Structure 1
């Protein structure tokens, strides 16, 4: 086990034994805490195992979404917008609700963040402690 795998295992430990994959749930745990790099890594581990599966583009889009926020945290505004657009293209391939996630909400979130970046001509970072987005699953799945 690599150091990265051990860190991911620790991040998803509380998500084990639930109805959905612990990596998937762990993504939302990390994302909602503003741990976008960790969210990316957690879901990437699942995506790498299932690259030929039906959720390939879905997981890729969610990873790109987290990556876009990593770029914002590092004040890389144009690369962030590019990743938002890639995430949007991947997520649009799925129904409005997929894997208990309302993608219409996620796609609107992406549009809003791209608009904020482009409207300011990439001169102002819209991410701050009060603007950090949260993602929630539908149904009885527990995420923080």
Structure 2
């Protein structure tokens, strides 16, 4: 029922917006894992890469990876081990839908709204998801 130590490093990286390092950390444990952990780790790392793509204004890459990541996490809802999957899933789906509705021509604007642009002059107005733990895991 526990995760490897590197997973928690990946969680810290994800939660602090270090999406590419999070991908690297989780990919290393994903490659060595077996299901059901393997698909769970892959879903999170794909969501991280989706936000990384958004930070680079890569609209298509963000849509694809957010879509694939949330699709992989769908079966782990509402929680997996000690992780609140439902909150991560719903916030990531919300980001995906917001980006789809906005369209490619507004990707830079939405990256800034999520606080993912180096040139952002305003504080983030849209919340990025966080990986949170549940109080009393089932």
TM range (shorter): 0.7 to 0.9
Most deviating of 123-132 and 82-91: 123-132
In structure 2, distance between residues paired with 1:56 and 1:21: 12
The alpha-carbon deviation at position 118 of structure 1 amounts to 1.1
| 1:38 to 2:55 alignment | no
| 1:64 to 2:46 alignment | yes
Most deviating of 129-138 and 20-29: 129-138
Q: Which residue of 1 aligns with 2:8?
A: 25
| 1:127 to 2:105 alignment | no
Match of 1:86 among 56, 68, 82: 68
CA contact (8 A) 2:84 2:131 kept: no
With normalisation by structure 1, the TM-score equals: 0.76
Q: Which residue of 2 aligns with 1:105?
A: 87
The alpha-carbon deviation at position 119 of structure 1 amounts to 1.2
Alpha-carbon RMSD across the aligned residues, in angstroms, is 1.8
In structure 2, distance between residues paired with 1:93 and 1:67: 20
| 1:74 to 2:70 alignment | no
Structure 1 residue ranges, 4+ long, deviating more than 4 angstroms after superposition: none
Q: Alignment length, in residue pairs?
A: 121
Structure with the bigger percentage of helix: 2
The alpha-carbon deviation at position 101 of structure 1 amounts to 1.5
The alpha-carbon deviation at position 22 of structure 1 amounts to 1.5
Q: Give CA-to-partner distance per residue, 1:4-59, whole Å, 9 cap, x none.
A: xxxxxxxxxxxxxxx64221111111111111000011111111111x33211111
Please list every run of 5 or more consecutive structure 1 residues that lacks an aligned counterpart in the other structure. Answer: 1-18
The alpha-carbon deviation at position 84 of structure 1 amounts to 0.8
